[in-house]
Amino acid sequence: MDESTQPQHRRRPRYPGKNPRLFEHKYKELDPARHPETVAKVLASGKTPAGSHVPIMVGEVLDVLQPRPGEFSVDCTLGHGGHALAILPRIAPDGHLLGLDVDPLELPRTEQILLQAGFRPEQLTMMKSNFAGLPAAMAKLGRTGADVIIADLGVSSKQLDNPDRGFSTKADGPLDMRMNPSRGLSAAQWLEKVSPDKLARVLSENSDEPHAPRISSALSGRSFTTTAEFAAAIESALSSFPSEERELSIRRVFQAIRIEVNEEFTALDTLLRVLPQSLNPGGRVAILTFHSGEDRRVKKSFQAAHREGLYREISRRVLRAGSEERHANPRSTSAKLRWAIR
Ligand SMILES: C[S@@+](CC[C@H](N)C(=O)[O-])C[C@H]1O[C@@H](n2cnc3c(N)ncnc32)[C@H](O)[C@@H]1O
């Protein structure tokens, strides 16, 4: 081999101090091609490799949605394309999938994944859009109703595990938390402006945080730049509590503020309102939720629309991931699946 074409030998990076501090140094799983043994070890231990997204309850979602050849499907939360990849072969060769996502950073990557998987542009449209605008998004394709709709709520592991996005409690990054970083206030900006009362309300309503008043009086109106700084401030506000309790509160506070800066409940309420008329007669919708604030909304909306005759049938009980999936992908543990048929 000519020397100029030989792969260059790269030295293992030297970290200042004993342990790597940067996320990309810490998690070898981020580069699976170079560290397959690490990925295998992480999977075998029942964890999800950092930076990868494993779609949740795919079998159950397909069972309730029953996508058929030729059908028009909408994935309201395209994410990493996990559910779309399962639906597309079932609606082929003449079906079409419209994938929506608000995230302008992940969307082009997902587009690459789906096109590389062999799906043609005639089979697939990807749009940067909030699912609250579902009827308008479908109208752009000349459609008024879908046969299959899926929404897998919240953020993907890709977003959560990327410290640059500011969702992470595990690794340090700017305190942002926006799914679309070019819209609205970052978490840091929002925290600087929020009153103690409003923060307490957000923490209790969005995450059932039991220490909401104590945390909000310690944190509201303060300036935080990074996720680690913010997590440390929550910790110190709860210094008299055991460490496991502090950990849980940190996670709940991050979740509550993420829901707020992304206006997740407003978007979900709008989607639930427009869903029945966005389905063709006989059309099926499945929604995966990850905490009680979301599940309550879906359950109540499906029940009300069923009573009004807008849905022919709805799930009587919530479906959960099986024990095998829960072991293989702990992120599925909190997932709840509900469905409705127009
Ligand atoms: C849990 S992930 C979906 C993962 C996907 N089902 C998969 O298997 O790869 C949720 C995705 O929905 C997007 N999202 C959240 N709220 C949204 C909204 N209101 N409108 C459009 N996309 C949204 C997020 O940016 C994220 O990419």
- CATH C-level class of 181-261: mainly alpha
> How deeply is 238 buried, as exposed, middle or buried, from its count of CB atoms within 10 A (0-12, 13-18, 19+)?
buried
Per-block mean pLDDT, blocks of 10 residues, the chain (342 long): 39 43 42 45 46 87 98 98 97 97 96 93 96 98 98 94 90 95 96 96 96 95 94 96 96 97 98 98 98 96 98 98 95 96 98
Tokens for 114, please give them: 């789906």
d(CA 133, CA 100): 10
Ligand 1 pocket residue status of 53, Cβ below 6 Å:
yes
Measure the CA angle with vertex 259, ends 258 and 262; round to 5°.
80
pLDDT at 271: 98
pLDDT of residue 4: 38
Ligand 1 center from residue 9 Cα (angstroms):
39
Query: What global pTM score does this model have?
Result: 0.86
pLDDT score of 52: 65
Nearest 5 degrees, angle CA 22-CA 27-CA 31?
A: 110
Atom of ligand 1 nearest to the CA of 179: 25
| Residue ranges per structural domain of the chain | 58-157+264-341, 181-261
Give 31's contacts (C-beta < 8 A, 6+ positions apart): none
Atom of ligand 1 lying closest to residue 101 CA: 22
pLDDT of residue 216: 96
Nearest-atom number in ligand 1 for the CA of 151 is 6
Q: Alpha-carbon distance 277 to 311, whole Å?
A: 10
103 within ligand 1 shell (Cβ under 6 A): yes
Position 169 scores a pLDDT of 83
Length of the chain: 342
> Hey, whose CA ends up nearest to atom 25 of ligand 1?
103
Tell me the two tokens of residue 280: 């063709």
| Ligand 1 atom 24 nearest Cα | 155
- Tell me the CATH class for 58-157+264-341: alpha beta
Cα(281) to ligand 1 centroid in Å equals 26
Task: Write down the pLDDT at residue 35.
Answer: 46
Q: What pLDDT, on the 0 to 100 scale, is given for residue 22?
A: 43
C-beta 155 within 6 A of ligand 1: yes
Residue of 97, 101, 110, 112 to mutate, ligand 1, most atoms within 8 A of C-beta: 101
User: Distance between the two ends of the chain, CA-based, in angstroms?
Assistant: 64
Beta-strand runs (E) in the chain: 72-75, 96-101, 124-128, 146-152, 279-289, 313-314, 336-341
